[in-house]
Chain A
Amino acid sequence: MNRSPFYSLFAATALTALASASNVSAQAASSGAQEFDPRAFPGQVVEDVVVPVPSEVFSVLDKLGEPNWRQEIRTIDFQKTADRTKLSLMFGLVVAEGFVAVQAEDKEAVKDIGREVIDLATALGLIKSVRPHAQAILDAADKSDWSSIRREFDQTQKTVRDSMIQMKDNDLSQCVSMGGWLRGTASVTSVIAKSFSADRAELLNQPMLVEHFINSINKMSKDKKDHNNVADISKGLKTILAKMEGAVDGFTKDGVREIGKTCDSLLKDIQAAR
């Protein structure tokens, strides 16, 4: 993630252990089935996590079959609010919805979502930096230039998160990522549940991302952590993490549905007025 100033530069502690990465591999290989322990890494671990965009998962689903993405598009219905936490979660949700609409190659849905992006950016006070991206999305939709739209949605999300970080709103930046991940995961579980296979279900093996979000919430300021939606998301993510960690022999169809149900419930709450 683009963060500057840099992570603890010249970390002195890391100098005590300059074993090469190939030694790391060799140690792990020689220990049989033992998992590689990143905490024992003899160097500096970059703590920033890059959250995949929904289309990274969607592209695999496309390779494994031909999902009906139009069926996955959902009407966005969010109440007007000045609650920045809710708006940030909504922003992530809307951008993820944009990725679904691109997958469905639904020009009108993309345009509607482009307009939602403008409304939300305005409400968040970020319209100046977002407008060029939103306009590019609307223009590319006219040309059915799906790869450009995909890139613009990715850029839009990054622009908003970077702007929030510049304004010292790191917690809200995390909310954007969480809203997007929840919506993307809801779509993925829906597609998998409609045509279940072990290969498709394996895409839900994302415990690191869920742990990252749980840790992010734990580090939030009290007002954000106690926010109704964020508190509910924290609980929901713990449920999802337990499902992921319990799927040692792979995910069952019921397991996939339960993860989807949890995501759907949280998304519904984000869009609710409360």
Chain B
Amino acid sequence: MLFSPSRLFHRATALLTAAVLLASAPLSHATIDDAHSFAMEAAVPFVEQGFIVREDYWNGEVKSGQKLMVRHQMFKGNEYAFWLGCAQEEVTFELQVLDEKGNEIELDFKASGMFATVRVNPPKTGTYSVVFSLTSKKEKGLYWALAYGYR
């Protein structure tokens, strides 16, 4: 396990606090770091299942509805999880993983509140494309962070 139960509890408390603060704060105060915090919140149940969270991640700001793509190396034999966090509320997420031929290979897409997740069992070792978008009726620009873990 990556975190001890007490650390997990403290982390969950910190994330909950952050979420409450974020919810009560003006949206213009949202930051990229908030997006990463929500991605890490999405990672918590995966960590409990033995996923190791990578320190490196992708982030940025994107126009609502615009498609983004990240190219990423994955190894057959590992299971991967991708966690997409957003700093703003009421966002609709899309998150897919495509193989070299453009076929979808992700499992269990889930979106909830400020994040979305997918799991991936890569059928072979190689380069995959993580394609995603965030859409908001209220915000033109959205802060995002995409993190991943493996087991």
Question: Which residues of A are interface residues toward B (Cβ below 8 A)?
Answer: 1-4, 6-7, 9-11, 14-15, 18-22, 24-25, 27-29, 33-36, 38, 41-46, 48-53, 55-57, 59-60, 63-64, 147-148, 150-151, 154-155, 157-158, 199, 202-209
Q: Please tell me if the beta carbons of B101 and A29 are within 8 angstroms of each other in the complex.
A: yes
Q: Please tell me if the beta carbons of B96 and A21 are within 8 angstroms of each other in the complex.
A: yes
- Which B residues are CB-close (under 8 A) to A10? 61-63, 141
- Which A residues are CB-close (under 8 A) to B61? 6, 9-10
Name 14 interchain pairs, CB-CB below 8 A, sorted by A.
Answer: A4-B32, A10-B61, A29-B102, A41-B67, A43-B131, A55-B52, A57-B75, A147-B1, A147-B52, A154-B54, A154-B55, A205-B125, A208-B71, A208-B127
B150 at the interface (CB under 8 A from A): yes
- Known contacts A15-B66, A24-B98, A25-B98; is-contact A56 B75 (Cβ 8 Å): yes
Q: Please tell me if the beta carbons of B60 and A7 are within 8 angstroms of each other in the complex.
A: yes
Number of A-B contacts (CB under 8 A): 170
Q: Report A32 CB to chain B, min CB distance, Å.
A: 9
**Total chain B interface residues with beta-carbon distance under 8 A:** 50
Q: A22-B96, A59-B150 are in contact. List 11 more A-B contacts (CB 8 A).
A: A1-B56, A1-B57, A15-B63, A24-B131, A25-B98, A25-B102, A25-B103, A45-B71, A48-B70, A50-B148, A202-B125
The 9 A-B pairs of least Cβ separation, nearest first, read: A28-B102, A43-B67, A36-B102, A60-B77, A6-B60, A21-B131, A158-B55, A208-B127, A50-B56
Q: Report A10 CB to chain B, min CB distance, Å.
A: 5
- Which B residues are CB-close (under 8 A) to A147? 1-2, 52
Q: Mark B73-93, 1 if CB is under 8 A from A, else 0.
A: 101111000000000000000
* Complexed CA–CA distance, A250 and B40 (Å): 37
Task: Find the B residue at minimum CB distance from A158.
Answer: B55
